[in-house]
Structure 1
Amino acid sequence: MVELANNLGTEKISKLLIKQAVPATIGILVMSINMIVDTIFVGQWIGVLAIAAITVVLPIAFLISSIGMGIGIGGSSIISRALGAGKSDKAFLTFGNQISLTILLAIIFVILGVFFSVPILTLFGAKGEILPIAATYFDVIIYGVPFLAFAMMGNPVIRAEGKPKFAMVAMIIPAFVNIILDIVFIKYFHWGMWGAGLATSISYASCGLFILYFFLSNKSELKIIPKNFIIEPKIVREIVALGGVTVVRQGAISVLMIVLNYSLFKYGGEIAISVYGIINRVMMFALSPVLGVSQGFLPVAGFNIGAQKKERVKETIKTAIAFGTVLGTIIFVGILIFKEEIIRIFTTDTTLIADTPHALLVVFLVTPIVTMQLIGSAYFQAAGKAMPALILTLLKQGIFLIPLAYFLPKYFGVEGVWWSFPISDVLSTIITIIVVKREMNKHLTV
């Protein structure tokens, strides 16, 4: 643990952030490319409705896997601060409890998904001709979700150990597996949506098994010790309080998807859902550098908070925001210049090519300022302050975007859905700036 302490506690902040953020960005980028290629393959080889079906199903899978992600982020916050304070035993115990919680909860939700697949899909917007295609896909990938949940739990823990390159590899492996199997199962075996689902499920398993291999090998300082599987209520409460932020965020995103799919289907039909399916994939890919900065921020901030190095924490916040703002500006300019070319990658359908570029530009309109939201909520998670982290996390998707996406289309049609994104970004960014400035003045003044 000495090398980790020397690095996160003493190395130059900008260098640390780059060292942590670049592998995280590459990992997220490759996973995003995976989802984009998945969408391209099903769009080109199966049809437009297949894009809509994936758009409906993936938020359900990610809602379940977000349990693992929440446990991973909540636990990694504890682990980072414990390592910063020199409390290795607490770090080991937290890790063991993370494994137990992830496995138990993932299995429960998968069972619910198997027995109630049609009502769940209908709730998330699988209506009309989309439902049977979505059901075929969902019924296969649900069995890979426990592996995804375990991978999502393990990834932030690996970063908390100060080993971001391994976390990056864990995200790259399933992308390559999925792309190769998509080509084999869809194009050559002609297995359609069932083949697409099988490829995705196997890719989830490859990711989970690699994470398991990492923790079983001598590469990890956090060993899998059976005695630490026994639930420690105090540790679990802290994991749930901090990790619940991530779960609630994904829950809000899932509710948002229900509202979006309702509004899109009502005011624009299946085509509007397919338009958003493309925008959503572009969003995952384009925002990956900004998300990488926020992922890299967590272990650096958490360790220095635990070590009571307030100046380094303040510098970490400011540097991460500066990096993210520059990246967000570059992303927006790229979207502005190449929006039509981007859409043509996904589809040859003339209606989608005509409708999507404008919607894409509106959704990305205020991308340069979104880093403030991510770093604001990430700081409070790293500091172990669950309530402000939860509130800031819910600002965009829960408090602003859901009601806007429901009410604006009543007056402006599908256009109202697209404008709900930049409006909610502006409102949530303003509030985040106020909250974070107050926090820094109160608790990070030396």
Structure 2
Amino acid sequence: MPHERNIMLAQENIGSLIVKLAAPAIVGLVVQAMYNLVDTIFIGRGLGEDSVLGIAGISVAFPVQMLMLAIALGVGVGGASIISRSLGSGKQQVAEKTVGNMATMVTVASLLFTVVSLVFMEELLTLFGASAEVMPYAADYTYYILLGTVFFTFSAAMNNSIRAEGNTSFAMLIMVISSVANILLDPLFIFEFGMGIKGAAIATVISQIIGTIMVFYYYASGKATVPFSLASLRPDMSIVNESTYIGMSEFLFNVVESGLFLIFNQSLLYYGGDVAIAVFGIIIKVFMLTLMPVIGIKQGIQPIFGFNYGANQMQRVRRTISLSTYLATGLSLIFAIVVFIIPEQIIGVFSNDPALIEMGVPAIKICYIMMPFIGAQIVATALLQSLGKSKESLFVTLSRQVIFLPPLLIILPMFFGLTGIWLSLPVSDFLAFVVAVVFLHRESNKLEN
């Protein structure tokens, strides 16, 4: 008899199914983004006159965290695609092997990353734009974050495997509990223990350990539709290769994103100094918070795409494309409007520094101009990943990051200075939107035929 989650993916109304699967993911991701935001707020408020240097330090460390995320999502998205399609086509054993292989892949990759990054940490931070004044703050924060790499990547990757079998509620619970723990621990370590920026990093690592423990609990308690076994840890090269192939677009997206921070931070340091890097760090944290509901929609629709494609129910796949695109675009529009109404209040939450606010208000408004066009890009990526079309997914994902943004980031500042750096973001967003719409239309027509 099919498991009730499989029946839900195959038969439930698409609109209610998207809400049911996406809502927990949205809650979890928003809370998770909140703790990144809270880290920055506590440091901005806790370092007094050094608030700009502290925020800049976290901003310089952020690309390193993006590389950690690249490992987690590369493994997580690739494995989740195999799991959902295997369940849709009745291949339970393949799904079970994939869970164990995901655990092995993410653990080995994250341990290697930790060792290499610790050895070359200062060189990395210099590359990502740390000035002599910012380096002590960036190094203190990054050192402890790197020590927690394996916990962060493991919990994030395996969260995708839990979500792939349709249990988005528990996946949400992992993110919520670990994020709330981080938010509660931040003031304790930063203020009560007087550890400053180090305390923020330690609080983050402890929260990631909690997330890892919850993943182990999920599989040990028998809650999983796709159980985990020690035997499945042994690498199956067909699964490893397919998972890597499918997850490569997500991995490269985050690696390229990290590389873009290098260009951004070096350009910002040249045109605006440490204050500009701090402003960019704030904008990115705010942007990630408002982007999380759209990413939550993506995570909710991926099992619907994968399962119904595997079950040859193409009409349900097309219906999911349509509804999720409207929903993602609508949410993005709402967030853009909010940012345009209260930009000064948003920047002011992080610091009262007059130079930071003066530079930050026009910058955040420029960066949000094309926010409503992001929804279609994310739906297109989710569809292509879920259908196992890695090359197309890679092209859509990297069109903004590789084809459009880098040249704009170099050319526009030549004419507009610091404003050109901010303008490069909305212009590249619009061009990437055009690419995403072309692929969505093409794939939708194929599914219809």
Q: Normalising to structure 1: TM-score of the pair? A: 0.98
Identify unmatched segments of 5+ residues in structure 2: none
Q: State whether structure 2 residue 52 is matched by structure 1 residue 48.
A: yes
Specify which of 132, 149, 152 is matched with residue 153 of structure 2: 149
Aligned partner letter, 1:281: K
Which SS does the other structure have where 1:324 is aligned? helix
> CA offset at residue 34 of structure 1?
0.7
Q: State whether structure 2 residue 200 is matched by structure 1 residue 192.
A: no
> CA offset at residue 60 of structure 1?
0.6
Q: Please identify, of 1-10 and 77-86, the stretch whose mean Cα deviation from structure 2 is larger.
A: 1-10
- 2:448 is aligned to 445
Please list the CA deviations of residues 57-95 of structure 1 after superposition, one character each: whole Å capped at 9, or x if unmatched: 122123123212211110000000000001100100111
Aligned partner letter, 2:222: N
Q: State whether structure 2 residue 238 is matched by structure 1 residue 208.
A: no
Which SS does the other structure have where 1:165 is aligned? helix
> CA offset at residue 164 of structure 1?
0.7
- 1:336 is aligned to 340
Please list the CA deviations of residues 357-416 of structure 1 after superposition, one character each: whole Å capped at 9, or x if unmatched: 111111010111111101111111000011000010101122211221222112211101
Is the contact made by 1:260 and 1:406 (CA closer than 8 Å) also made in structure 2? Answer: no
Aligned residues: 445
Please list the CA deviations of residues 206-226 of structure 1 after superposition, one character each: whole Å capped at 9, or x if unmatched: 112211211221111222211
Map residues 39-438 of structure 1 onto 2, 5 A cutoff. 39-46=40-47, 47-438=51-442
> CA offset at residue 128 of structure 1?
2.4
Q: State whether structure 2 residue 5 is matched by structure 1 residue 4.
A: yes
Aligned partner letter, 2:41: I
Runs of 4+ deviating beyond 3 Å: none
Instruction: Tell me: CA distance 1:65–1:327, structure 2 relative to 1, closer, same or farther (3 Å).
Output: closer
Q: Please identify, of 359-368 and 204-213, the stretch whose mean Cα deviation from structure 2 is larger.
A: 204-213
Counterpart CA distance in 2 for 1:162 and 1:93 is: 17
Counterpart CA distance in 2 for 1:19 and 1:327 is: 17
CA RMSD of aligned residues (A): 1.1
Identify unmatched segments of 5+ residues in structure 1: none
Is the contact made by 1:400 and 1:424 (CA closer than 8 Å) also made in structure 2? Answer: yes
Please list the CA deviations of residues 145-165 of structure 1 after superposition, one character each: whole Å capped at 9, or x if unmatched: 110100111111111111111
Is the contact made by 1:76 and 1:160 (CA closer than 8 Å) also made in structure 2? Answer: yes
Counterpart CA distance in 1 for 2:360 and 2:152 is: 30
Is the contact made by 1:81 and 1:305 (CA closer than 8 Å) also made in structure 2? Answer: yes
Which SS does the other structure have where 1:218 is aligned? coil
- 1:24 is aligned to 25
Counterpart CA distance in 2 for 1:173 and 1:184 is: 17
